[in-house]
Structure 1
Amino acid sequence: MRLHFRPRPRADTFVPNSVALCYCLCHSHGKPSTVGESAGRLELVIPKPNAAEESAAKEIREMNRSTILTKLTVVIFTVLLFAVAGAAAGTETALKASDITSKIFPEQVFFRGQVAPVQMRNTGGVRFSDDMFVLAGMVDSSGYSTAIRQKYQAYFISEVPLEISGQKLPPGAYGIGFISGEKFILMDLGAHDLFQVDSSKDSGMKRPVPLQVVSSGGKYRLYAGRSFVEFARAQ
């Protein structure tokens, strides 16, 4: 007598609802049984799955695949969201005129008893990693006296303490200008001089503009044409 097993189908293919075990014991010279394939053999017969079982197994596989893809998508989205938020929050950069809008810099500013329009095309600044700003913009000073026009060229706003060429400057709004003798002057809103420092010339600048702020080795340069002073956030 021989014992013969047919291979069992994979478990993830279907879920069998029954197992038929057929014993066929016959003499080697007898007539083969109608249940088994031949005489003298013990045969284990596992029935094929029906349509309902195959459909259920397919649904389970699709549900598992869908669950894995959904979880993977959520993980990837979360990682990207934190990466973008972290990058945005931790960036310190110099700002161009195209970065500065009326939301952060007024289009008209008050200085020495009157309001004057800002030339928004001639603005610049710095946004620090903690989202604090230093901003500057050229003003139309045509309505002021000659004495003030000679000194007052731009409006300067800082949300943080600064150091400008060795001079400490607290947060606030100021009037600034580059004057004769290679000097930079800073005034309070009443047009009173707070300090003057030496300015420098950048003769290598190819395309000077009326006002801009440029990063320079951990510090920043405030330019008016080719003239500039360096400033940095005070510790």
Structure 2
Amino acid sequence: MMNLKRVLLGSSRLLAVICCLPVFVMGQNSVTILTGAELNRVVPPGFYFQGLSAPTQMRNSAAARFGTKRFVIAGLVDTAGYAADVRAKYEGFFITDSPIAINGSDLGAGAYGFGFSNDGKMQILDLAGNQILSISTTKDTELKRPRPLMMAKAEAGIRFYSGKDYVTVTAR
């Protein structure tokens, strides 16, 4: 009789853990687009790139939280002080505090520069201006009110937009 009680108690505990597991997994993979005070708290006021620091354009900044503690933060910066060749490839910063994938290409945790080109590419650059990734973008012809920079929830992660061009960012 005592063994039966132990087996039933152990089985019920195991069942409870198994039933709760999907809730924990969903919480880790859920995506929240930050707004208002939450957005202002995580976006840096300026960003260093290729020897200069430039102020962030807060109105053209976006951030997403994957789960409870993983962030992707991006913002356009005032590139007026940069040389023309730098301004041609660098628009702003892209920060991730954990590994992600952009359109399937892996990117490690770190702070990067980024730029979208007219030929349908997004460039990810290290802080010295060296290209890390070049990713093909998709044009969202259905987007009614494109903005210079924004993030939106997607089926798998987020869409990171520059105007109507976007890439999909997913947690790894």
Please give the range of the TM-score, normalised by the shorter of the 2 chains.
0.7 to 0.9
Question: Which structure would you say has the larger RCO, counting Cα contacts within 8 Å and 6 or more residues apart?
Answer: 2
Q: Which residue of 2 aligns with 1:95?
A: 34
Question: How much identity, in percent, do the aligned residues show?
Answer: 35
User: Cα–Cα, structure 1 residues 167 and 205, in superposed 2: closer, same or farther, change >3 Å?
Assistant: same
User: Cα–Cα, structure 1 residues 223 and 181, in superposed 2: closer, same or farther, change >3 Å?
Assistant: same
- Asked if the contact 1:97/1:122 (under 8 Å) is kept, the reply is no
1:92 Cα deviation from its structure 2 partner: 3.3
- Residue 210 of structure 1 aligns to which amino acid in structure 2? P
Q: Which residue of 1 aligns with 2:57?
A: 119
Determine helix, strand or coil for the equivalent of 1:152. Answer: coil
User: Cα–Cα, structure 1 residues 169 and 180, in superposed 2: closer, same or farther, change >3 Å?
Assistant: same
- Asked if the contact 1:165/1:197 (under 8 Å) is kept, the reply is yes
Give the TM-score, by structure 2 length: 0.79
Give the TM-score, by structure 1 length: 0.59
1:105 Cα deviation from its structure 2 partner: 1.8
Distance in 1 (alpha carbons) for counterparts of 2:161 and 2:67: 22
Distance in 1 (alpha carbons) for counterparts of 2:46 and 2:127: 14
Give CA deviations for 1:36-93 in whole Å, capped at 9, x if unaligned: xxxxxxxxxxxxxxxxxxxxxxxxxxxxxxxxxxxxxxxxxxxxxxxxxxxxxx4631
Distance in 1 (alpha carbons) for counterparts of 2:171 and 2:43: 19
Determine helix, strand or coil for the equivalent of 1:100. Answer: helix
> 1:52-63 to 2 correspondence within 5 Å?
none
1:124 Cα deviation from its structure 2 partner: 0.9
Distance in 1 (alpha carbons) for counterparts of 2:133 and 2:67: 28
- Asked if the contact 2:31/2:65 (under 8 Å) is kept, the reply is yes
Determine helix, strand or coil for the equivalent of 1:147. Answer: helix
1:193 Cα deviation from its structure 2 partner: 0.6
User: Which of residues 202, 205, 210 in structure 1 aligns to 2:143?
Assistant: 205
1:229 Cα deviation from its structure 2 partner: 0.6
Q: Which residue of 1 aligns with 2:80?
A: 142
- Asked if the contact 2:43/2:63 (under 8 Å) is kept, the reply is no
Distance in 2 (alpha carbons) for counterparts of 1:99 and 1:186: 25
- Asked if the contact 1:93/1:127 (under 8 Å) is kept, the reply is yes
Q: Which residue of 1 aligns with 2:153?
A: 215
- Asked if the contact 2:66/2:171 (under 8 Å) is kept, the reply is no
Q: Which residue of 2 aligns with 1:167?
A: 105
User: Which of residues 151, 159, 180 in structure 1 aligns to 2:89?
Assistant: 151
Larger gyration radius, structure 1 or structure 2: 1
- Residue 179 of structure 1 aligns to which amino acid in structure 2? S
Instruction: Say how many residue pairs are matched.
Output: 145
Q: As a proportion of its length, which structure holds more strand?
A: 2
